[in-house]
Each structure stands twice: as C-alpha cells, then as structure tokens.
Chains A and B, each alone.
Chain A
Amino acid sequence: MAKWGMVIDLDKCTGCQACTTACAMENNRLPGENWQDVLFYHEGTYPNVKLMWFPRPCMHCENPSCVSVCPTKATYKDPDGGFVLMDYNKCIGCKYCQVACPYGVRFYVDEKAVVQPDIRGVFPSETDRQWDPPYKGPQDDPSRGIGIQPHGVVSKCTFCYHKVSKAPKGVADLDEDIPELKEYVPACVRVCAPKARFFGDLDQPNSNVNKMIADKRGVRLKDETGNKPQVYYLSGGATASVPSLRSMSDSDKG
C-alpha cells in the first residue's frame, strides 16, 4: 500500500498562487476558504524587508492529532494511501479537529464569509451544501470529504483523493510531465508553473520524492508536535522552514 506524500521546494516557489486557484476550482472552495494556500511572510523593516512565501496544504500527517481528537471518527486516516479524510456524514461540527491541528488547515465555513460579497448569496444551494456554483466538479463523495462542503461540518484538503486513488498500482511518483499519469496528479501539483511541488509514494525508497527528501534534507513542519507530516519542505537553508509571526513582529519592532 502506498503512503502518498508531497515535497515542496521553497527555493523554487514563486508565490504565484496557481496551486491555490487550481485547488479552489477542483474542490469548489468558497473564496478565501482555501484548503491550499500560499502564505506570505515578511521580516525586517523598510528598506531592509524580506518577503517570503510559504505554500501550505494539509500535511496528511502519519500521526494526525485531528484524527485522534475527533469524537465521532468523522476524520480518519485512510490506510490505503495515507490520506487524512473527512466523513461529512459523521461530522458534528464541534471543531475540535480545527483546535487540535497545528497547521491551521481545517475549515468550518458556516461563519461570516471571508470575502465579501458572500458568494453563497449569489449562488444559493437548495440542498445541505454551502453553495451551488455554476461549475461543479463531477466527483462527490461525502464519506471522503469530496464535493461541495455541506453546512455544519469541517472540511479539509483531500490530497485530491478522487484523482490520486485512481492512479495505477505500484507507481512511485505522480508527475504531471508523464502524460499517462497527469490525470492522477493532485491539482496543486499539476499546475505548479515553477515545478516546486512533487508528489509520490514515501514508502517506495526509489521514488523521486524520497530521493529529494534525502538529497536536499527535507524537513517537516512543526515536527516537535509528533504529527509526522507527509508533506516535506526543501529550503536549502535559504528560506525559513517554519515562519513565525512572533519573530516577524519582533524584528519589525527592532
């Protein structure tokens, strides 16, 4: 069984947000409620300012704290692929998973709209879903958190389960440059123009992702929490691997 993982090369990321847009289109996300986002951080004061960007999907942790705290087992670790998924039919909207996720990558969208005007009013849904956009992805699997988010539940990135799970068995890497595999590549990886994202099987020693992690000393975000993310960052020492708002503000004050 595969253990899918992602490698993000921070030295190549240009902060173009193509991944964010592709994810939003693929998964019918509400504006501003981005499962995948590229965060911007800055350090220093004018004129010595450094701007950094930081792509941040769900980490699909090996030992996810969101899964262990869920009181209904609505969020679970899929043993076949290592995806962390949501079962919308079991979620009660208690938001404990949001509280317990160190990476802030879970979304409860029944609150005030992040982007105004509230597009839910423009494309209202007549079902239990948040909205009824003019374009909808053909996939809809509430038991895996795929499809338009219903009311009263928490949602999250699925690593594009609906694509990746259909990949040929035994394939080591899902590379958008290989024509016969590109349909199985997660949306954010497929559209990455500077090719900063890579997706593959972490359980296959010869996979490209494993080689990159080894060769470029891939790091995992907030490893001290014990969550063991399946998303690795390559920074080459040029970019802070774990940005901190506090350090930003301290240097600003300086």
Chain B
Amino acid sequence: MTSITISNKEIAGKQLGIMLLALIGLGIAGGIAVNNLMAEGHAVYNTNNLGLFWGFPIVVYDYFLLTSTGLAMVASMALIFGGEDYRPIIRRALWLALAGLIGGVAVLMMELGHPLRALWAIPFSFAFSSPLYWKVMAVSFYVLSLLILQLRMLKADWRMQDLRINAMVTLVLALGVTAIAGVVYGSQSFRPFWASGDIPVAFIFESLLGGLAFVFFFTYLAYAFNPAAVPESVKRLFNDRLANLLALAIFIHLLFVLARMSSGLYGNAEGLQVWQTLATSPLFFAEILIGLLLPLVLLMYPGTRTRPWAQIMASLLVMNALLISRYEYIIGGQLVPLFKGSWAPELLSYVPSPTEWLLLLVAIFLSNAVNAFGEVTLRLGREG
C-alpha cells in the first residue's frame, strides 16, 4: 500500500506536468490558429464551393464527439450492467468524455461562420426537421447528464446501484447523440458514399471502439505508462474483460468498413467511384492493416494480449485508425463535385491546410489539459 501511495503522489506530479505541457501546446497551437483566422478568416481552410464544404475541422469535431459518447457508453453500461469490477474505470471514462467533448466543440466553434450566434440561434429555432438541431439539443442534455453523474461520484463511497437511473439517462443520451450524428450523414440520399440506414448503428459501434481504446490509453497515461503503478484491480479488468471487448469492437468496426467498401466498389451510383480511389490509397491500407488488424492480433494473441505495451500500442493504433476512418468517411462523401461542369475535376482533391492541422492539435491539447486537471483535482484513480 505504501509503495502505491508514493506512486500516486509521483503520478499526480506527472499529471501536473502533462497539464502544463498541454496548456503550453494549447497556447502555441491555439494562438497560431486564432491569429491565422483573425488575419485571413476561413480562407485558411482548404474547403471550397466546388463540393468540399466540410473539411478537417469537422472531422476532428466528430471524432472527438463520437469518442466522448463512446466513453460515456462504456462508463454508463459499466454502471448499469458491469458490477464492481468496472469501478476503477468509470469516473475516468466519464471525465474523459467531458474532456474530449470540450476539445471537439472548441474546434467546431472555430469552423462555424458565426459561432456565438449558434449558441442562441440553434436552441431557440425549434427546427425540428433538422438533425443538427436535435444533435445540439441532445449534446446539451448529454453534457448535463455527464456533469450530474460526475458530481454524484465526488464522494468516495458512491454506490453503483444509486447511480443506475443517471447512468441509463446518460447511456440513452450518448446513444442518441451518436445515432443523430450518423443520421446527419446517412440521410443524404443523393450522396451514396454516405447514405445508408445503418450508418447510425455503425457510428455507435465506432464510438464504442473509440471509448474502449481511450479507456486503455488514458488509464495507462494516468499511471505515466508505468505498468507497476497500475492497480491490480485495473490490470485484472483490462486482462480479463476489456481486452476481449476491445478486440470484439475492432472486429465489428472492421466488418462495417469492409462491408461499406465492398458495396462501394461494386456499386455504380454516382458518388461511389470515390471507393475506387480510396480503397487503393496508402492511408486506407494503413487504417486497415496497421490501425485495425495489428491491434486485433495483439489483443487476440495469448502471448501479447495481457502485456501492457501491447494494450497501449493497440489502443493508440485504434485511436489513429478511427481518425483516419472519420476523415475518409466525411471527406470521401464530398469528393464528387456537384453540378460544376467540365471545369471541375472528376474527383476533388483535398488535404488539410496547416491551420486545419493546428486545430487537431488544439483539440488534443485542450482535451489533455482538461483530462489532466481532472486526474489531479478529482483523483480519478481513487477507485483503483
């Protein structure tokens, strides 16, 4: 017990270091990005009116949003069904859900034409026919439910059965936000690359995968990647259950991606030709082979599945693969120009601008700063 207590103090010091580094990174990346935006406006983004309306900032926003809901799903399902074994990861996952969401929404605010107007114009519009209206409303209540759950777990002796109703509400909202995010794209019937009734379901599994990967990575990060400092209860949970769940989630996500690819390659609808380019790109191969299959092997192979390095690597690779997957999906659906004539290329080309890359860093640094703040002040490892 003494050695663990000392380790915890050391770890708290390291978390302070992470927070400081994240804040410095946020200051630099955010400062440059804001300066660029003030100087040139949205001309610093590589989006255009030929058809590429939503660029990398939307990819980053959706990635962080869906990761957040995935973390909330993992935590709330653990509260509802999991039992005491899952106790060590619940508060951390819920706080991380909040941290990720803050990072993503910050980037969205820098992408919108009128971010401040959005704060009042959306809630008071009552635009019931718009998926984005419902998404914003669901996210608002989702944040509220995360905060209530976190507040009710401030006392060290919180009991799972007392929080089940709260957890159910959080789970429903997390599922709702994720499904609506899927509807935003899936309902665009004239974009066959996006449109499909099962997109909300695919998004939910993708979220769950992200949530599980983030739980692994950020739990190890909380102990400064020092496996000796990780409590036995956490190790047991990771090795006995979560490694299997992560592998299963990778497998399901892989099925969704490969199924979409197969339909896309054989389909003849205008827009599906994007798959011909996408499926031969190095990025797609990196996503499938390194980002999904390699982690799957690491988590299935008996010699590696319980090794901390393998779990850290698998989760890190999955986190990257999901970002690539989100990028390919959102950008891929817009690559065919809409009624722009022969002057427009057959497929639009897009690479994120330097400022758009900076926004990814802004989201990463901001989320990490908020997460480290929680680790230090809320002692998220207390339950371990």
* Chain B residues in the interface with A (C-beta under 8 A): 41-43, 45-51, 53-54, 112-115, 117-118, 121-122, 125-127, 129-133, 135-136, 184, 188-190, 270, 273, 334, 336-344, 346
Which residues 93-140 in A have Cβ within 8 Å of B in the complex?
Answer: 93-96, 98-105, 107-114
User: Could you tell me if B132 and A245 are in contact, using CB atoms closer than 8 angstroms?
Assistant: no
Q: Is A167 an interface residue (CB 8 A)?
A: no
* Chain A residues within 8 Å of chain B by Cβ, number: 53
Binds B, one of A69-77, A186-194, A205-213: A69-77
B109 to chain A, nearest CB (A): 10
A250 to chain B, nearest CB (A): 9
A15 to chain B, nearest CB (A): 10
State in angstroms the CA–CA spacing of A111 and B342 once bound together.
Answer: 22
Q: Is A249 an interface residue (CB 8 A)?
A: yes
Contact for B51 among A94, A104, A107, A151, CB less than 8 A: A104
Q: Is A228 an interface residue (CB 8 A)?
A: no
B76 to chain A, nearest CB (A): 26
Determine the chain B residues whose CB is within 8 A of the CB of A96 once the complex forms.
130, 132, 184
Determine the chain A residues whose CB is within 8 A of the CB of B42 once the complex forms.
108, 110-111, 152
Determine the chain A residues whose CB is within 8 A of the CB of B135 once the complex forms.
71
List the B residue with the shortest CB-CB distance to A225: B190
Give the 7 A-B residue pairs with the shortest CB-CB distance, closest first. A93-B113, A152-B113, A104-B338, A39-B341, A71-B132, A110-B42, A92-B118
Contact for A94 among B48, B112, B188, B270, CB less than 8 A: B112
Determine the chain B residues whose CB is within 8 A of the CB of A249 once the complex forms.
346
Which residues 224-254 in A have Cβ within 8 Å of B in the complex?
Answer: 224-226, 243-246, 248-249
Q: Is A54 an interface residue (CB 8 A)?
A: yes
Could you jot down 20 A-B contacts, CB within 8 Å? A40-B341, A40-B342, A54-B339, A54-B341, A69-B131, A70-B127, A71-B121, A71-B135, A72-B117, A90-B117, A91-B114, A98-B49, A110-B41, A110-B113, A111-B47, A114-B48, A224-B190, A225-B189, A226-B189, A246-B270
User: Could you tell me if B114 and A93 are in contact, using CB atoms closer than 8 angstroms?
Assistant: yes
Determine the chain B residues whose CB is within 8 A of the CB of A62 once the complex forms.
none
State in angstroms the CA–CA spacing of A103 and B100 once bound together.
Answer: 35
User: Could you tell me if B190 and A42 are in contact, using CB atoms closer than 8 angstroms?
Assistant: no
Determine the chain A residues whose CB is within 8 A of the CB of B190 once the complex forms.
102, 222, 224-225
State in angstroms the CA–CA spacing of A74 and B130 once bound together.
Answer: 12
B380 to chain A, nearest CB (A): 34
State in angstroms the CA–CA spacing of A33 and B50 once bound together.
Answer: 10
A71-B125, A71-B133 are contacts. A104–B340 as well, Cβ < 8 Å? Answer: yes
State in angstroms the CA–CA spacing of A109 and B41 once bound together.
Answer: 11
State in angstroms the CA–CA spacing of A160 and B43 once bound together.
Answer: 29
A99-B188, A112-B43, A244-B270 are contacts. A70–B49 as well, Cβ < 8 Å? Answer: no
User: Could you tell me if A92 and B122 are in contact, using CB atoms closer than 8 angstroms?
Assistant: yes
Q: A92-B114, A108-B49 are in contact. List 15 more A-B contacts (CB 8 A).
A: A39-B340, A40-B342, A41-B341, A56-B339, A67-B129, A69-B129, A69-B130, A70-B130, A73-B126, A74-B121, A152-B112, A152-B113, A152-B114, A245-B346, A246-B346
A241 to chain B, nearest CB (A): 12
Contact for A71 among B41, B136, B189, CB less than 8 A: B136
B343 to chain A, nearest CB (A): 7
Q: Is A85 an interface residue (CB 8 A)?
A: no
List the A residue with the shortest CB-CB distance to B339: A104
State in angstroms the CA–CA spacing of A42 and B342 once bound together.
Answer: 7
Q: Is A68 an interface residue (CB 8 A)?
A: yes
User: Could you tell me if A107 and B129 are in contact, using CB atoms closer than 8 angstroms?
Assistant: no
List the B residue with the shortest CB-CB distance to A32: B49
State in angstroms the CA–CA spacing of A113 and B346 once bound together.
Answer: 21
Determine the chain B residues whose CB is within 8 A of the CB of A110 once the complex forms.
41-43, 113
Q: Is A164 an interface residue (CB 8 A)?
A: no
A96-B184, A245-B337 are contacts. A71–B49 as well, Cβ < 8 Å? Answer: no
Q: Is A8 an interface residue (CB 8 A)?
A: no
User: Could you tell me if A41 and B342 are in contact, using CB atoms closer than 8 angstroms?
Assistant: yes
Determine the chain A residues whose CB is within 8 A of the CB of B334 once the complex forms.
99
Determine the chain A residues whose CB is within 8 A of the CB of B131 once the complex forms.
69
